[in-house]
Structure 1
Amino acid sequence: MQVVDLRESPSLGLLFPKAVVTGFTKKGGKTLPDRSYRWQGVRVDPAHLAAYNQVCEFRLSDELPITYPHILTFPMQVKLMTDADFPFPLVGSVHLANRITQTRALRVDEEFDLQVHVENLRPHAKGKQFDMVSQGFAGGELVWHDTSTYLVRGRGDGSSNGGEERREPPAPSAFWRVPDDIGRRYGEVSGDRNPIHLHPLSARLFGFPKAIAHGMWTKARCLAAYEGRVPEAHTVEVRFKLPVLLPAKVAFASEQRTDGYRFDLFDARKGKPHLEGTITY
């Protein structure tokens, strides 16, 4: 695999308009780019980390939330998905799932090397899916690994992986109110200013009745409820279900298991699922 070094984080302000323009020319394909982007010597801005923690309701700390490096690698992911040889349009791709593993606590004063590539193109009942893989290294050691699975809608393969069995919502552990500006606030700290998250009018252009919360914000918000209760080395895996239409009242449910936790986020009134996840260690 070819490794291409970047001097700085790619500009999402330039890449998102490019994604809109180039999306019309991408017709799908059978191969993914055999290329990795690498950004070395990355330092965390403490003020930016504090802003992220506030939006996601983490405590202020010298340790990075396990989800924080995702927003550092996200511009590299977008760069790869807007390259000319990437076969699918970024606009309209659906974030199905995310799995993150860290081998130890990551500290704000460390220096990281970040790397992103794409792999595992495979069929899905509603089209095709692929994995965007991000890695974080410290002192040459792999300390953080992130896999985001995306769906590109199209002709499916007839399998059943697009229609999972529905389950009754579990007993809530807490109720949270999600304000109507959380998409704009998270977009400000993450750089992900996709129109579907920013305003009802722009969201309607893409088929949503209201603006929706970022999936990675919902994951981070759930994990904030576990601060101080999980060991440094752990894995968090979630599957994104129905979007959170803003504003919202959501219910959070947590179940302790021998190897960690299971958690759910769902509509407090109708019980419709937003997210299902596990923490394992």
Structure 2
Amino acid sequence: METRILQDTPGGLGLLLKAALPSLPVIGSLPGIRKAAPAGFDGLAFSRPASEVTREHVDAYARVCGFPTKDAAPLPYPHMLAFPLHMAIMTEQAFPAPAIGTVHLENSITGHRPVAIGESLGVQVSVGPSEPHPKGTIFRFVSEARSDGELVWESTSTYLRRGKGDEAASAGSSFPEAAPTGTVWSLPGDLGRTYAGVSGDHNPIHLYALTAKALGFPRQIAHGMWSKARCIAALENRLPDAVRVDVAFKKPILLPGKVAFGSTPTDDGFAFSLTNPRSGAPHLVGATTAL
């Protein structure tokens, strides 16, 4: 597929409107807003020119996600550069699913080596045709970050669009168990807004109780990629420079709220989890793999 280069990545109120309008009754069926038919979608790919990994942005990301200050960016940080391209693709009329209401099911990050502060990374994101899922269809967004042509980081985000599913299709990855080990994190009500200020992900479900309720949630919820990053921060000093971290997002984390973290060693890394400390319901399950 052809890769489109975006000199300026989308953002702000205009992007939120573009993301929301296709999911609205009546308005979403209007010409120019209506999404393309899934059967005709064969993929999209966007890239952005190389940009510097700055100390200011990395430190802001590290603070909200629980990482220490270092001369290298935290493992999940390049997702901050890739996410605007995810949104650029999702808000294209040719992409068959509205951005609002599309659920992040799984994410896999591979860091081939640490990314230094001051390095310049070029990022490309691509997505192919939809795949069947028991609860609808899924789209896999593949992100790649390169430094002077060297692939240093890559990620696959799996998004679900609920609808008519295929019971014979895979329901997703499985992970080893990691029971809570006594660590409980208290999450403030403004966590979603703080993370949105760093990540650019201003999905209304993360911001305020009012905007989350309008989309079917009892109150605002934490970003899935924040929850993954917070788990990686808890394990960071035990992970090698070359590593893959896979997670599946389960039940939403309501804000404000508390989550229980657990981890246990495996043959080639760690299994980890976030659960509700009262009910034991899972919010996230994952595993690291040394490369």
Question: Relative to 1, partners in 2 of residues 1:209 and 1:40: Cα closer, same or farther, differing over 3 Å?
Answer: same
Q: Indicate whether 1:49 and 2:49 are aligned.
A: no
Greater shift, 10-19 or 178-187, is seen at: 10-19
Contact persistence 1:241–1:273 (CA under 8 A): yes
TM-score by length of structure 2 reads: 0.91
**Separation in 2 of the partners of 1:166 and 1:200?**
32
CA drift of 1:258 comes to: 1.9
- Runs of 4+ aligned residues of structure 1 deviating over 6 Å after TM superposition are 163-169
The residue aligned with 1:239 is 248
CA drift of 1:109 comes to: 1.2
Select 1:145's aligned residue among 135, 154, 168: 154
Question: Relative to 1, partners in 2 of residues 1:167 and 1:46: Cα closer, same or farther, differing over 3 Å?
Answer: closer
CA drift of 1:30 comes to: 2.1
Select 1:156's aligned residue among 162, 165, 169: 165
The residue aligned with 1:7 is 7
Question: Relative to 1, partners in 2 of residues 1:147 and 1:31: Cα closer, same or farther, differing over 3 Å?
Answer: farther
Q: Indicate whether 1:80 and 2:128 are aligned.
A: no
Question: Relative to 1, partners in 2 of residues 1:58 and 1:199: Cα closer, same or farther, differing over 3 Å?
Answer: same
Provide the aligned C-alpha RMSD in A.
Answer: 2.0
Percent identity between the two aligned chains: 43
Q: Indicate whether 1:252 and 2:258 are aligned.
A: no
SS at match of 1:68: coil
The residue aligned with 1:20 is 20
The residue aligned with 2:214 is 205
SS at match of 1:151: strand
**Separation in 2 of the partners of 1:77 and 1:164?**
22
**Separation in 1 of the partners of 2:44 and 2:270?**
36
SS at match of 1:227: helix
CA drift of 1:31 comes to: 4.1
CA drift of 1:230 comes to: 0.8
2:217 aligned partner, one-letter code? F
1:18 aligned partner, one-letter code? K
SS at match of 1:4: strand
Greater shift, 1-10 or 266-275, is seen at: 1-10
**Separation in 2 of the partners of 1:51 and 1:13?**
22
Greater shift, 209-218 or 63-72, is seen at: 63-72
CA drift of 1:44 comes to: 1.7
CA drift of 1:8 comes to: 2.9
Greater shift, 220-229 or 25-34, is seen at: 25-34
Greater shift, 114-123 or 163-172, is seen at: 163-172
The residue aligned with 2:112 is 103
Unaligned runs of at least 5 residues, structure 2: 29-33
CA drift of 1:255 comes to: 0.4
Q: Indicate whether 1:116 and 2:96 are aligned.
A: no
**Separation in 2 of the partners of 1:165 and 1:220?**
20
**Separation in 1 of the partners of 2:40 and 2:246?**
26
The residue aligned with 2:79 is 70
CA drift of 1:192 comes to: 0.7
SS at match of 1:219: helix
The residue aligned with 1:179 is 188
**1:28-39 map, 5 Å:** 28-39=37-48
Question: Relative to 1, partners in 2 of residues 1:163 and 1:237: Cα closer, same or farther, differing over 3 Å?
Answer: closer
1:272 aligned partner, one-letter code? A
Contact persistence 2:109–2:245 (CA under 8 A): yes
Contact persistence 1:197–1:212 (CA under 8 A): yes
**Separation in 2 of the partners of 1:54 and 1:228?**
16
CA drift of 1:242 comes to: 0.1
SS at match of 1:226: helix
CA drift of 1:161 comes to: 4.2
Count of aligned pairs between the two proteins: 281
Unaligned runs of at least 5 residues, structure 1: none
